[in-house]
Every structure is written in C-alpha cells, then in structure tokens.
Amino acid sequence: MTRSSVQGEDTDEGAADAPERADTVRGDGDNGVDDAKDDTEDGTEDGTGSEPGAPRRRRRRRVLRWTAVVLAVVLAGTAGAGYLYYEHLNDNIKQDALNLGDNKVAKPTPNAAGQTPLNILVIGSDARDSEENQQLGGARETFGSTPLADVQMLVHLSADRSNMSVVSMPRDTLLEIPKCTDPDDGEVYPASEGRVMTNQSLGHGGPGCTVATWQELTGIHIDHFVMVDFAGVVSMADAVGGVPVCVDANIHSRDAGGHGSGLKLEKGTHPVKGEQALQWLRTRYGFEDGSDLARAKAQHMYLNSMVRVLRENATLSSPNRLRRLAEEATEALTVDPDLDSVKKLYDLSNELRKVKPERITMTTMPNRYVGARVEPTEDAEQLFRLVREDIALDGKDAKKKPDAEPELPADPAAPDDEIAVQVRNGTRTDELGTAPGRANTVTGLLVERGFTKAVADPSVLPSEDRTVIRYPSADLEGDARRVAKSLGLPASSVKRSTDVSGVTLVVGADWREDTAYRAPQSDDRTPESAEALNGADDSACMHVNPAFTWS
C-alpha cells in the first residue's frame, strides 16, 4: 500500500501562507506547512531549526504523543487518589463547551441493567498559545495562530464496562464541518463548503466543533471530550517511569536531509521515557512506509504498553511520582464542563480502568486516498455502527440473547386508530439513492392495520441503516412499541429521542422493498482494514524501514 508521506518528501514552501496549514497532509510536497510545522523530527539535531524553514516541520508529531500520554492516564487511572483532590489541581484544568453544533445525537438506550456506554473524544491540539507550548511545538512563525485538531481518538466504554474500543481518525480525513457557534463571543462559523480536512474543526470555535463534526460523521453520541496541549508531556512521560516499545530492527529516524525525530534504538524491546518517548510517538521517518498511519500504529502500541505499566507498575505508588503526574496532566488538559474537576476525572478513570487490557481494542478509521487526502470507506461505517450499537470490537461479547419482550411502559398504548405516526423515508445510503415511495408504502400498511392517523412525511429524507421508531417522551413509549409490534419490528428498534415531536417511524436501508419487514443478519465483525490492536498484545513490534536502519 503506497502512502503519500514517505521519507524525504517534506517541502519548505508556503510557510507564511496561513490557510495552507489547514490544507496539507503527510509531507507530500504540497506546500506542507501542516506537515512541516508539526515535525520536530525535521531540521537540526538540537531541534533549534537553524536549517531554513526547519521550525515549521515540528508540529503534528508532538500532538500525537500528548494525546497518547494523557489518554493512557485517563484510561488507566492511578492509585493514591488523595493527591488528586488538591484544589490547585482543579484550578489547572481548563474547560470549554461540549458541542457547538445545532444537531444533537440522542444518547444510547440503557441496557437491561440501566447502563449506558460512555464515549469520550480525545483531541490533540497544536496550539501555540503559551511560551511553553510554543517552545515544545516549535514553528515560531505560527505562535498564536488558529489551532488544528491534529489528533482525534474516540474512546468507547461499553455499557457493561467489560470492554473498550478506541477509534483514531487521520487528521487529513475529508468531511463536512457543520455550522458551529462559539459560546464565548457568539461568533457563528458557517458549515464548510464541501469537504475539508477534519483537523480544521478545532478552529471553528473550539473543541466543541470537533465534537459536533464527529457526531455528524459517525452518528455516535459523545459524552465528553479531553483536549491535550503540548505542555508538561515530557515530565508526564518521565513520571510514568518508562514504557516498553519494540522495533524489529535497529532504527535511526534521521535522513540525509535532517528529517526525522532522532529516535535511535537497537532491535528489540526497550523502555523509553522523556524525550525518547516523545521521539517514539512522533516518529514517521523510519516506521513502515513513512505515513501517518504507521505513526498511528506506533502510538497505539505505546498507549497499550503505557496502560499496562500504569496498571501494573508498583512504583506509581510513590507519592512524589503521583503528585508530579497529577500536576503535569491537569495543566495539559481542556475538558467539557462535566469533567471540570479532578474528582470527576478520577471517577471517569475508575470507570475506564474496570476494563482489562485484553478487552481494549485500538483501531484506525478505515480510509482510502482522495488525491493526497483520505476519506472514510464503507468499512468505516461498519466500525461506527459497531460502536453505536455497543458491540465489542474484539469479538468477545457474550452471546446475546434474543430481544426479550420489554416491560410494559407506565403509560400503555392508545387505541390503534388514535395513535398519530409520522413515516419518513430514510432508505438513502452512501451507495444507493432513496428508494422511492417507501414512506407512502409503509404508511399504507399502517392504515390497513388500523393506524388511521399515520401520515407520510415527504419533507424529511434522513438516512438510517436500520428502520427505527422514535418517540419523545414516556407517555408515548407504549404507542411507539405498539407500532413496532404491528409491523414486526424488533423491540430494539424503538428509541426515545428528543429530536422528534411525536411517534416517528423512519424506514431504513434494511427495508427498501416489500411489505413484510425482515430483520437483516448483522455482520458484527471488526473490519480488517481497521487494523485492530489488542491492549494485552505485548508482542507487537514496529517494522523498521530498511532505509532508516543501522548496524
């Protein structure tokens, strides 16, 4: 598989052109400020950027490692919680609004035990909004410029807390950014005209627009976000005490032009910390084909290893080490208002750490190239559906029993001829257009069966993979269930949602024809193109590009 950012393709052109920062990818020679600025790998050995244009090549690799370090802290939690309750730690934490978009995604329906999944979006910002961030991130000419969300990882904790899935999205994914409104000053950022790179979403009012963009693309309700900047990450890596990583050959990430992180390791497994850990997480030159996807794979390996260290390493019981880790972590975070204290973060980490490493699955959103950019594939939608439906990506979910008849709602159904139902045609897919007449056909079925107040709504043409019946309030739950039963729809198709004003049936892509509904057979396997990595896999080893080895 050929990737666009292979070694030696970075250029120094276009450095002063600010819009270019948001429009480049993987050092593919397209005036790569977005790729160049991120790359502390590039330039001189001491990272001072004395080579012309070198400071610009420092940015994104740093963002990757910030996210990996803090995500590991959030995933694993630590012992000695008492140190996490100092008031000054709360003061360290910055907060911002959760969702700046107009459209909301309904929360998942609780399971039989009343539990719901948790979805946390982890964002790596390249902001240079302080002297420390600027020094760490380099690219002095971009100090104070609009930040980019160069790392985006969705952490999904299952409703029963038995498993966890992590989905990374490449920064150069092309998608539509929805309209976002900055709550601080009321500025409205219009929806993008066509598709743009996903990392631009952060500049549309803040992390809440990145959340809105994810929800629009995936249909996944996001409960929280955690955004990480550059500051304090070297100390955080030191505080952990070292993370084992593996390479299958000697590696030195440096080419004749000075590109590379400077990472130098012998073949085998070695603990890395501090600057060396940062080199590992930013390395692109030397891993596999030199692409961002290879770098993401190295991130996942590091993150899995760090989770294991945080769970198992007794040295983290050291009060001083814990204090230091807490200080550095809180200073590096921006969170949504529901995570605005150390106690809330600690409680969240306790939920996340219930999952054993062998039930953690790291993936990358399946993608294909569009020029020098990428776009989600059909496999990506399969991955998103598994997350939406809380299906474990490791394939180890307990065998699910057939849907049991749910308990009767407190408010029983009205007579069929008094139940008002709106029917919409949601049969459109990425590959197929809307199947004509489906709303009218299903409305006719309902009327024949006594639901005389059923009407087709041709004004809304949503897109739903599966047929669903939504209702807005508890007093209409019985009505919605009665409609589902009359059409032979499963109980799981009935969802409570504030997005509708009455009982609303959306005919999905699983019912494009015929009058009898037949539930489709689900393929609940994680696509191979997601390159899943299990959290307990301590044998994973990065493949070294022969051009970057040494003897």
Q: Tokens 């399946």 sit at which residue?
A: 366
Residue 174 CA to residue 153 CA, distance in Å, equals 16
345 in Cβ contact with 94 (< 8 Å): no
Determine contact, residues 407/481, Cβ cutoff 8 Å.
no
What residue type is assigned to position 88 of the chain?
A: H
User: In sequence order, what E strands does 67-223 have?
Assistant: 94-95, 118-125, 149-157, 164-169, 174-175, 180-181, 188-189, 196-197
CB 543 within 8 A of CB 248: yes
The one-digit pLDDT tens for each residue of the chain (551 residues) are 433 333 333 333 333 333 333 333 333 333 333 443 344 344 333 333 344 444 444 444 444 555 555 555 555 444 444 444 568 888 889 999 999 999 888 888 888 888 999 999 998 876 544 444 444 343 444 445 688 887 889 999 999 999 999 999 988 899 999 999 998 889 999 999 999 999 999 999 999 999 999 999 998 999 999 987 644 455 566 667 788 999 999 999 999 888 888 999 999 999 998 778 878 887 889 999 888 788 888 888 988 888 887 777 644 556 676 676 777 778 878 999 999 988 898 889 889 888 999 999 999 999 998 988 889 998 999 999 999 999 999 999 876 554 445 556 667 899 999 999 999 999 998 788 999 999 999 999 999 999 999 999 998 889 998 999 999 998 999 999 999 999 999 888 998 888 899 999 999 999 999 999 988 777 889 999 999 999 999 999 999 999 999 98
Domain with CATH 3.30.70.2390 in the chain: 416-507
C-alpha span between 293 and 112 (Å, rounded): 38
**CA-CA distance, 248 to 287, in Å (whole number)?**
10
Domain(s) of CATH 3.40.630.190: residues in the chain:
118-399
Q: 416-507 adopts what CATH topology?
A: Alpha-Beta Plaits (3.30.70)
Q: Does the model's pTM come out above 0.95? A: no
Which residue matches tokens 């490449």? 170
What is the number of residues in the chain?
551
54-107 pLDDT, tens digit each:
444 444 444 455 555 555 555 544 444 444 456 888 888 999 999 999 988 888
Report how far residue 277's alpha carbon sits from residue 242's, in angstroms, rounded to the nearest whole number.
8
The CA–CA distances, whole Å, from 177 to 169, 191, 195, 210 equal 14, 6, 7, 8
pLDDT for 483-533, tens place per residue? Answer: 999 999 988 899 888 889 999 999 999 999 999 998 877 788 999 999 999
The listed CATH number (1.20.1250.20, 3.40.630.190, 3.40.1190.20, 3.40.50.280) that belongs to domain 118-399: 3.40.630.190
